[in-house]
Amino acid sequence: MLRRRPPRSASADDLLTTLGRLTAQAREGAELQQARVELAEALQREMLPATLPEVPGLRAAATYAPARHGLDIGGDWYDGFSLPDGSLAYCIGDVQGHDVEAAAFMGQIRIGLRAVAPHAADPGEVLSRANDLLLSVKAGLFATCTFLRFDPATWELSSARAGHVPGVWATTDGGCGVAEDPGGLPLGIAPGETYPVTRRRLTVPGSFVLLTDGVVEGPSYAIEAGLAQVVALVGARAGEDPAAVAAEVMNMAECTGHTDDAAVIVLSFDGVADRAG
């Protein structure tokens, strides 16, 4: 009766060859992922403006801090531009996802907002039109956003929110708080969404701060606690140099232990009475 021989065990050379092949495949996968991260980061950098628009009596500054979790990148962004009627627009947002697709969607949002803003009556209409425009491209992603419009003729700041973190305000007379304005759904979720508009006349000098959740929220840090810290900081430095205030607000992100990226816009303004004088 013939006896079947057991299969020959793999030699050391065979094992080394297999290990080498698997190592090469892993390296190729890591290099591909790293290339995607670098591409997404490059797209982000190109989409963030070098400067923000200003007028006499209104100064603006912004800062952005990239953060990674593994090989992921974030989807935070900000923008600012002048409108044909002389008013200034500022916006900040956070795109769902952490990849090249999210960075590309960020670009679509930025272009969409710039395209519709000159033809919209107020920030609420800007967000509504941009929402429908983004849904039409069927990207399958969504984004939170806050859009502001400052009118230097009336010294009015109007704003609308699409599911975004509330802003923070402070004035030199001691007032400060979280701008818990009503809002609508994030952009890219439901067609025909409307966004309420809040209007503030800047009668007293101060600061208005827009930020993303990476600044004020972390794995074990509640967003309410983060916002309270920003209110205290901005309240103590209302109306001061916006770049310095933005840097201090961004530094507070270290308290949250966040793994997300973070963005901050600070507007520092004179009051109506100061402008009239």
pLDDT in tens, 81-92: 999 999 999 999
Nearest Cα neighbor of 128 from 110, 147, 141 is: 147
For residue 109, pLDDT beyond 50: yes
Q: How far is CA 208 from CA 16, 61, 267, in A?
A: 62, 11, 5
Pairing of strands 176-179, 167-171: antiparallel
Contact by Cβ (8 Å): 131, 193: yes
For residue 252, pLDDT beyond 80: yes
Provide the pLDDT for residue 115.
Answer: 94
Cα–Cα distance measured from residue 95 to residue 145, given in angstroms and rounded to the nearest whole number: 9
Under DSSP, the state recorded for 118 is G
Residues with Cβ < 8 Å from 219, sequence gap 6 or more? 257, 258, 259
pLDDT band at 31 (very low <50, low <70, confident <90, very high): low
4 or 140, greater pLDDT: 140
Cα–Cα distance measured from residue 75 to residue 37, given in angstroms and rounded to the nearest whole number: 12
Pairing of strands 58-65, 143-151: unpaired
pTM: 0.83
Contact by Cβ (8 Å): 44, 102: no
109 or 72, greater pLDDT: 109
Percent of the chain with pLDDT over 70: 76
- Phi, psi at 94, each rounded to 5°: -140, 120
- Phi, psi at 276, each rounded to 5°: -65, -30
Cα–Cα distance measured from residue 86 to residue 259, given in angstroms and rounded to the nearest whole number: 39
Alpha helices per DSSP H over the chain? 12-47, 100-116, 123-137, 213-216, 223-236, 242-251, 272-276
Under DSSP, the state recorded for 4 is P
For residue 50, pLDDT beyond 60: yes
Provide the pLDDT for residue 140.
Answer: 82
Which range, of 26-40, 154-168, 183-197, averages the lowest pLDDT?
Answer: 26-40
pLDDT per residue over 65-83, tens digit each? 876 554 455 578 899 999 9
Percent of the chain with pLDDT over 90: 57
The burial of 105, by beta-carbon neighbours within 10 Å (0-12 exposed, 13-18 middle, 19 or more buried), is given as buried
Pairing of strands 143-151, 156-162: antiparallel
275 or 231, greater pLDDT: 231
Q: Mean pLDDT across the stretch 116-130?
A: 97
Cα–Cα distance measured from residue 108 to residue 244, given in angstroms and rounded to the nearest whole number: 30
What is the average pLDDT score of the chain?
A: 85
164 or 95, greater pLDDT: 164
Under DSSP, the state recorded for 55 is B
| Strand arrangement, sheet containing 156-162 | 76-82, 88-95, 143-151, 156-162, 198-201
The CB-side HSE value for 259 (13 A sphere, CA atoms) comes to 8
Dihedral (CA of 216, 219, 220, 224) sign: positive
